[in-house]
Amino acid sequence: MYLTESTIQHDCFPTVKVIKVGTLSLESSEPASLINQQIKSDLGIGGGSTVTLIDGEQSILVDTGFDYESLDTSANNKRNARNLTRALRDCGLSPDDIDMVFVTHWHRDHFGNLPLFRKVKHLASKGLVDRFMLKGFEGLDDGQEIMPGVRMVLTPGHTIDHASIMVNTVLGGLKTGVAIAGDAVVSHSYFQSGKIWKYNSDFHSIEAGKESVLRLINSSDIIIPGHGVPFMR
C-alpha cells in the first residue's frame, strides 16, 4: 500500500486533519455504570465525537462533535458551537468555509453542531437519511465516491445504518489509507480489546460491528475513531 515520497505528487491527494479530539465516558476496561459516567462528566468529560476535516477538491467535515449530548440547554448549545468554531478558526477556517458535512450516524454527540453550517451540503448513508427522513441530506450508497480519494463505506453494527469515510492521502511522505471510522471503532481501547460499543438504545449487532471493523482494517493504515486520537491499526 505504501509508496516512497519520490513517487508521489502530494497535490493529487486530499489532506486529513483532526481538528477536535473527542472524549469518551466509558472506556472498554471500565464497568458500565451511571456513577462512572457521572464522575467523568463532573470532571469535564463531555463525550463529544472527534471531528475530522478532509481538504481536497472541496472541504468535508466528518461529524461535528457535541459534548454533553443529553443536556438540551441553550448554554450547552452555545458552548458547543463556540468550541467547534474555535477549533475551525485554529485551522484558519470558519463554518462558512466548509463545503460538506458528513454524519456517520444519528447520535447527537456526532451531529449536534450541524446548525453552525448554513451553506454546506449534508451527507450521510442512504439508509440513515431514509430512516430518519432527513430533509436537506443527500444519501450515499456503499462505496460511493464523494470526491477524488474520498469514499463512503457502510459500517453497520453500532447502528444499522452507520457509515465511515475512507481517504487515500499522503502522510509522512507515504501513500496512506485513513479510515474515519465514527463509532464503528469508538476508541483505541475498544479496538485493542476487540469490543464493540453496545450501550446505545439503537444498537444493531455485535457480529455486524466486528465485520465492519475488519472491513476498515483491511482498507486502511490509520484509523480515526469516533472518540479519541488516531492510531496505526
- Which pLDDT belongs to residue 3? 40
d(CA 45, CA 27): 12
Task: Report domain extents, the chain.
Answer: 5-26+33-232
Q: Which distant-in-sequence residues (6+ apart) come within 8 Å of 59 by Cβ?
A: 53, 93, 97, 98, 99, 100
More confident: 229 or 41: 229
- Which pLDDT belongs to residue 10? 61
Residue entry with cell 456517520: 104
d(CA 44, CA 232): 28
Q: What is 104-160 written as a DSSP string? A: SSS-HHHHTTGGG-SSSEEEEEHHHHHHHT-TTEEEE-TT-EEETTEEEEE--SSST
Question: Half-sphere exposure of residue 175, counting CA atoms within 13 Å on the CB side?
Answer: 13
Summarised one tens digit per residue, pLDDT across range 17-42 is 999 999 999 999 888 888 888 898 89
Summarised one tens digit per residue, pLDDT across range 109-137 is 999 999 999 889 999 999 999 999 999 99
Q: Phi, psi (5° rounding) for residue 88?
A: -65, -40
Q: Which distant-in-sequence residues (6+ apart) come within 8 Å of 140 by Cβ?
A: 123, 124, 125, 126, 146, 152, 163
Q: Phi, psi (5° rounding) for residue 147?
A: -155, 170
- The whole model's pTM is what? 0.94
Which superfamily does 5-26+33-232 belong to?
Answer: Ribonuclease Z/Hydroxyacylglutathione hydrolase-like (3.60.15.10)
d(CA 180, CA 182): 6
Strand partners, 138: 123
Q: Which cell numbers hold the place of 173?
A: 511522505
Q: What average pLDDT does the segment 67-86 reach?
A: 97
- Which pLDDT belongs to residue 11? 67
Residue entry with cell 463512503: 152
pLDDT band at 6 (very low <50, low <70, confident <90, very high): very low
- pLDDT over 80 at 66, yes or no: yes
User: What is the enclosing helix (H) or strand (E) of 206?
Assistant: helix 206-218
d(CA 93, CA 61): 12
Strand partners, 175: 170
